[in-house]
Amino acid sequence: MKRLIAGVVLGVGLTAMAHGAGDPAAGEQNAAVCAACHGEGGGKPIMAVYPKLSGIGEKYLYRQLVDIKTGDRPIAEMTGLLDNMSDQDLWDLAAYYNEQDMVVAQADPELVERGQALYRGGNMATGVASCAGCHSPNGSGNEPAGYPALGGQNAAYVEKQLKAYRDGERAAGANAAIMMDVASRLNDAEIKALANYVSGLN
């Protein structure tokens, strides 16, 4: 009997962990305003420098929403949009977008080989770590650690963010120090190749 109870408790705990803290149905109700920039379901932003939100990870997206709301990660286009949302509202939004399918882009064939080499193996000569170590070989991320899925993300957005990390413009967040260190070792050509590669990764 004790084993049965333990199994039920463990099963319920794992289910809760798998689904996170947000309610996707509730999140959908608050997502209408987001669609104006990020597209329906967060998969087709109106501008390439805006991120796709679909399937990038509930924990990661929640953290970003909190940082944006508090002003730790200033984004002019989002000023005031989250002010009236509760912490649970932010979890719900993150859960909703995490359940949406990522729309994968077509990578530039001329940059794929260099981007793949950097993503999978890093650059030992300059101390660049492999992106796959945190974001997974297929770009699906690491949800428990809060590392986002990168596969399919807009290349222009990834390029912009890597440069922001490199230049110290994006310094907020739990994993910012890691990304700032990695990006500081990348030149413009490497950033462009990496951004292009992940845009077609799935």
Task: Name the 3-class secondary structure at 156.
Answer: helix
Class of the CATH-defined domain 21-98 = mainly alpha
Q: What's residue 5's pLDDT?
A: 44
CATH architecture of 109-199: Orthogonal Bundle (1.10)
Give residue 174's pLDDT band: very low, low, confident or very high (50, 70, 90): confident
- For the chain, what's the residue count? 202
DSSP string, 49-73: TSPP-TTS-HHHHHHHHHHHHHTSS
Q: What is the pLDDT of residue 168?
A: 95
Mean pLDDT of the chain: 91
Quote the radius of gyration of the chain (alpha carbons, Å): 18
Q: Which two tokens stand for residue 48?
A: 């390439």
At residue 80, the pLDDT reads 94
Give φ, ψ of 117 to 5 degrees. Answer: -60, -45
* pLDDT tens sequence across 33-55: 999 999 999 999 999 999 999 99
**Residue ranges of domains in the chain:** 21-98, 109-199
Predicted confidence (pLDDT) at residue 31 exceeds the cutoff of 60: yes
pLDDT value at residue 105: 86
Give percent above pLDDT 90 in the chain.
Answer: 86
User: Which stretch of DSSP H or E encloses residue 184?
Assistant: helix 176-184
Mean pLDDT over residues 163-186, rounded?
95
Q: Label residues 179-194 b or e (16+ Cβ within 10 Å = b).
A: bbebbeebeeebbbbb
Least confident interval from 10-19, 63-72, 132-141, 151-160: 10-19
Please check whether residue 157 is in contact with residue 51, taking contact to mean a CB–CB distance below 8 angstroms: yes
The yes-or-no verdict on residue 167 having pLDDT over 50 is: yes
Q: What is the pLDDT of residue 106?
A: 86
Instruction: Compute CA distances 34 → 23, 42, 43, 145, 168, whole Å.
Output: 17, 8, 11, 25, 27
DSSP, collapsed to helix, strand or coil, labels residue 197 as helix
Instruction: Give yes or no on whether 21-98 and 109-199 have one common fold.
Output: yes
Half-sphere exposure at residue 76, Cβ-oriented, CA atoms within 13 angstroms: 0
The mean per-residue pLDDT over the stretch 10-21 comes to: 49
Q: Sorting pLDDT into bands at 50, 70 and 90, what band is 60?
A: very high
**Residue 171: is its pLDDT beyond 80?**
yes
Token code pair at residue 50 = 């805006």
